Structure 1
Amino acid sequence: MKFPSWEGLGVGNMTRRTIIPYNLNLVPLAKQLRQNMTLAEVLLWNNLKQKQMRGYDFDRQRPIDEYIVDFYCKDLMLAIEIDGWSHDLDASGVNDIQRQQRLEALGVHMLRFRDEEVKHNMANVLWGIEGWIIANETQE
């Protein structure tokens, strides 16, 4: 008798997954954002999709609570944000801080990378993500 492989299904990985409700009105916007990703988002997505990052499944443009995050891994409760030029504006920066505080209060961990870093130093970005996973996947 043959059994399915448990590899990549969260077995042996972190088991922090918590269901976080989200605003259903954000779904159409999330779909639109997926269809119109920035270059930096596309480049990072090409390295996260299909469980390429240590076997973890990431979603892109994922609604969580009242927000949409660029990338999200449910098993790690990890959101990854790419900050572009709009994040340099004061009002946007305040909103980013409030948003991050709210998501962290829900148990979501946040990693942020600059748009230019993703475009010009992908190896460092991937090292940062993988380093966070290694440091946190054994904690429970």
Structure 2
Amino acid sequence: MNYESEINPQTLQSLSAGTIRKTPIGYFAGLMLMGLLVAAIAIAGISGAKKKEKYLKDPKVGDVYELSYAKDGKTMRTLYRIANLTADSVTFDVNDYEADSRKALRKLREQHSNSYSEKQKVSRAELEDMKSQITSIERL
């Protein structure tokens, strides 16, 4: 079967002369930028997870842990600051406030960074079990 008779003569002439242009690479700039953004987010997530693992293995007094937990069907967040370390336990100062979003947690960190009145002592094994609740660790 010959499809040449169905193709527009101008298009057929352009095809045979090789004058049909390729899509300019600049048209793909948005896709390239999106790819770079996704890669940057992935790298940041991986480095944050590595930092969290490193800080969990070697905790220091003053480290601030962001914890998330379920309460009344909502995900709540608060801050735990390491007050004391022994060979087999960690004592935290627990922040008096809790937040229901990451944005509110940032605000809590700014406005109530020294509002710790309750203490909680956990073993090193319990700290390892809390790993899934810990969203990030900040070392000063």
- TM-score greater than 0.5 by the shorter chain: no
The structure whose residues are more often strand, as a share, is 2
TM-score (norm 2): 0.25
Larger RCO of the pair (alpha carbons < 8 Å, separation 6+): 1
Which is higher, the Rg of structure 1 or of structure 2? 2
